[in-house]
Structure 1
Amino acid sequence: MFRIGEFSHIARVSSRLLRHYDQIGLFPAARVDPDNGYRYYAIEQLEDLNRILALRDLGLQLDEIRPLVENRVGAGELRQMLLAQQAEARRQMVEAQARVALIESRIAELERGDDPVDLLTRNEPNRVLVGFRETCTGPEHGFELLAELTSCGNVERAAARVHSDFDDTNIDLEIGFLSAEELDGATLRSGRVLEAFPFPGGLVLTAVRVGDPVLAHGVYAAMGRWMAAQEYHLAGPVRELFLRLPGPLPSEPAVVEVQFPIVADK
């Protein structure tokens, strides 16, 4: 038997927590000295305590934990619950990292002011985009769609066209290969069948962005300022041509040409 202070070191929890769990009957001491009230714990109780702590870390309240402990939730079931919680925590971590990167890019944009972005206008020919149309729920989903698409073709011909207003969680996206009529009717591993869409030509304003799409606002803002100054407006859906997909290392960011179809204000 271990006194409560000893057991707190072994279990890596505070004596105060052990007393509280004993008082509410969630994790009673193995023995309480009737003369001085000292609590004693057996090493065999460590497994039960770890189960309680795992359930607590899942976000369950103590009154929700009690019946699970009394019913002796199995290690396998508990492991699955923890794995699900782990996956959710990792998802939240990725989202938090993306928010930090976005905030940093906003700060950098404010510090840069109106630093120039290389812009170019040119006339594009009418072409065909062979691909599919999908509602994209975010950048990660977009990369998944692009990776599936490029598994059967050359990334340097991959392009996307956005048919909806900007909404980073609900994007009406047309994605495919330019001038790849030979792929019309091909089936991807997901079962999607590629089809041909018109990719109209005409005058476009272009710029190259590097990195995650959530960090592209500086390039898009520069293109918008140019249009306002030169008295142009959008003549069709915004397009992006993928020059390079992101690699596994931070030193291998995506490289994308952004195209705004434009027409002079009347």
Structure 2
Amino acid sequence: MFKISEFSELTNISPRMLRHYDKLNLLKPKITKKDNGYRYYTPEQINQANRILSLKNVGIPLKEIAMLLDNPVEQTNYLTTHRKKLETELAEKKLQLAYLDWLEEKKTTSTIAAVNHPVETKNMNDMFVLTYREKVASYYQEEQLWQKLFAGIRTEDLPALSRSMAIFHNDSSEIIDIEVMITIPEKLKTIYPTAKFFSPGLIASVVTSGAYSTMPKVHEDMREWLRLNGYVPAGDIFTIYHSSPATKEREELYITEVCYPIK
């Protein structure tokens, strides 16, 4: 039999923790004398202490260890699940370190390059939209597309319009293929038979404010984020105009959400 101090030396578990294990019914002394409270452990309990430490060292909570020690089958299943959890956490930490390396590298290059754009992933619901699509020679001509879209909308329906967006369709030529769209209530479907559903699905997005001259930097950050996180584009890039030249005179008040469909 070993006193608590002797058992502590043999197992490298402090007397304080041994008392805590006793309270949790995890590792109770074989004998506890009522007159003086002395605790005594047996040699066989050294192996039990080692099993507890082994499970504790891989991050299993003490309250769950007691259940696992009494159920070998449950312990096997639990360890398999716990391994998957640790592997997932490790992969996430590696991604965070890679992103941190990228941020630190950018910070050493220049103050401007150090400004990064945080990316959010989300599922976007289907939207009922009116659209106008045309190939243009310059992004500055997008405004003309909006004028043509609104030219076909009745004045009485303007208050019912909602989100303004533009899709930039992939094209190998130098011509820019832009589709502007605005959401409308489905009840207007009979008035606008060319209206359709837009289904973005899973996207990565960045919300940024200010002049559109910052867009190349936003796209650069987005592409790097996709690379670091193992995503690939799954559709045409589109933007959501939360505020734009149509609603704000000063460009510093523009709020634009850049969206990448991903998988």
TM-score range, shorter chain: 0.3 to 0.5
Which structure's CA Rg is the greater one? 2
